[in-house]
Amino acid sequence: MESKAIDVEGALLEQKFIVPYERNHLFVGQETFLKDLHVLLSTSTPHKYNHRVAVFGLGGIGKTQSVLEYAYRQREDYERVYWIPVETQESLFRGYAKVAKAAHVPGCQVDDPAEIATQVLRWLQEQPSWLLILDNLVDVNAVKDILLQNTARKHTIITTRNPRADDIPAEPLELPLMNYEDSLELLLLRSGISSDTEKPAAQEIVKTLGYLPLAIELAAAYIRHVTGNFASYLDEYRRNENELLTWIGTANRPYPDSVATTWIMAFRQVEMNQPFAKLLLHLFAYLNPDNILLEFLIFGLKDLNDGEGFAATMTEPSQLDPILLEMERFSLIKWNRQAQIISIHRLVQSVLRHEMSKELRDVVTTVFFLLCEKAFPNPDRVSAEDI
């Protein structure tokens, strides 16, 4: 997997392509994204963070796999390609230590991980060409002091759920959901089923799963190992949605979490950072996923006695902002500032509904109906599409 420079006597000199995953030969789609990423990394534009890109998007949307594909496709453009996980400080230091050992970086014969990282960064800055991939950034403060100066031949890609790339700083590039055709191709490839008679059920599966790559990958694995066909999977999903969204299987995958686990960890972090986020986030699970109007929320919450102390604090639009920003930081929602609309993926809604306790569901249901009653005094006019 890792390319090695070899001298004439066959002795190992150093490794210049250090990526922890093999190329995914079943990767499909995202051609427009990959072209946009190449252009953004290669182009110099005034007043931009040139040659440094933050790829962001919902958990499970395929950020790591898409950037992995880019690294393999473009590896000949760079003298060196190094991939460093940055979800924790420990993983960051381990990554730099691995580079130091593989590339024989001078000055790294010390025990201090921070000093090793500093020496690697200093050495790397002197190299003529490289691609540095910082994968799965959670805390932007973890990289602020270690970002290298980027040039036309020295590029950095950062993957993160956080769309606010200015905080890094880097140029933002959102990874979109797969389109219908690519989603269907992924399901067919990964399931190993190509029968034309099965395609209608396969089409229904990718629509039901909202074209989310992780969900499609896990559905294909479940079909291979359990149901054997698409129609049986659909029947089981409709009966046991929660069980299938939490299913992991035993296959060796670079992404070990289930669909549900991917987001539940983010739910907990949001709730920890913003105490009133829990009720609002779970309320979103019952609203129109494509068109949640902030005007509706503000009007409905104002002076509402919800019994939880949440609505009493929401008398002005600005008081919602910190909560929405925290949800957005994990890409649990999309916030269209111009249209003042919130959207949320349907599978995120499903996981939210299933992980609620009965007590929380009762509170959320009560608030939902109170909101509707206040915002739409005529009950005959209220429908899911209205909100």
Distance between first and last Cα of the chain: 50
pLDDT for the residue numbered 73: 96
pLDDT for the residue numbered 378: 61
pLDDT for the residue numbered 1: 44
Q: Flag whether pLDDT at 212 surpasses 90.
A: yes
DSSP label at 30? -
pLDDT for the residue numbered 248: 77
Q: Flag whether pLDDT at 114 surpasses 50.
A: yes
Looking at per-residue pLDDT, the higher value among 289 and 196 belongs to 289
Question: What is the pLDDT averaged over residues 256-283?
Answer: 86
Question: What is the pLDDT averaged over residues 308-334?
Answer: 76
Question: What is the pLDDT averaged over residues 53-59?
Answer: 95
Mean pLDDT rounded to a whole number for the chain? 85
| DSSP of 175-229 | PPPPPHHHHHHHHHHHHT---GGGHHHHHHHHHHTTT-HHHHHHHHHHIIIII-S
Q: How confident is the model at residue 243 (pLDDT cuts 50, 70, 90)?
A: confident
pLDDT for the residue numbered 11: 39
Q: Which helix (H) or strand (E) holds 295?
A: helix 294-301
Question: What is the pLDDT averaged over residues 106-124?
Answer: 88
Residue type, 273: N
Question: What is the pLDDT averaged over residues 140-169?
Answer: 87
Give the 3-state secondary structure of residue 100: helix
CA distances from 235 to 3, 76, 241, 365 (A): 46, 47, 10, 28
- Contact of 230 with 193, CB cutoff 8 Å: yes
Q: How confident is the model at residue 369 (pLDDT cuts 50, 70, 90)?
A: confident
Question: What is the pLDDT averaged over residues 46-62?
Answer: 93
Q: Flag whether pLDDT at 253 surpasses 70.
A: no
Q: Which two tokens stand for residue 252?
A: 């060796």
Q: Flag whether pLDDT at 24 surpasses 60.
A: yes
Question: What is the pLDDT averaged over residues 197-205?
Answer: 91
173-187, 197-211, 253-267: the lowest-pLDDT one: 253-267
Q: How far is Cα 267 from Cα 278, in angstroms, rounded to an integer?
A: 8
Question: What is the pLDDT averaged over residues 354-362?
Answer: 88
For the entire predicted model, the pTM comes to 0.87
83-97, 176-190, 302-316: the lowest-pLDDT one: 302-316
pLDDT for the residue numbered 254: 60
pLDDT for the residue numbered 23: 92
CA distances from 108 to 2, 103, 104, 131 (A): 21, 11, 8, 21
Q: Which helix (H) or strand (E) holds 53?
A: strand 52-56
Give the 3-state secondary structure of residue 60: coil
Question: What is the pLDDT averaged over residues 218-243?
Answer: 92
Q: What is the separation of C-alpha 236 from the centre of its chain, rounded to a whole number of angstroms?
A: 27
Q: How confident is the model at residue 289 (pLDDT cuts 50, 70, 90)?
A: very high
Q: How confident is the model at residue 303 (pLDDT cuts 50, 70, 90)?
A: low
Question: What is the pLDDT averaged over residues 248-256?
Answer: 63
129-133, 227-231, 311-315: the lowest-pLDDT one: 311-315
Q: Quick one: CA dihedral 306, 309, 312, 318, positive or negative?
A: negative
Q: How confident is the model at residue 380 (pLDDT cuts 50, 70, 90)?
A: low
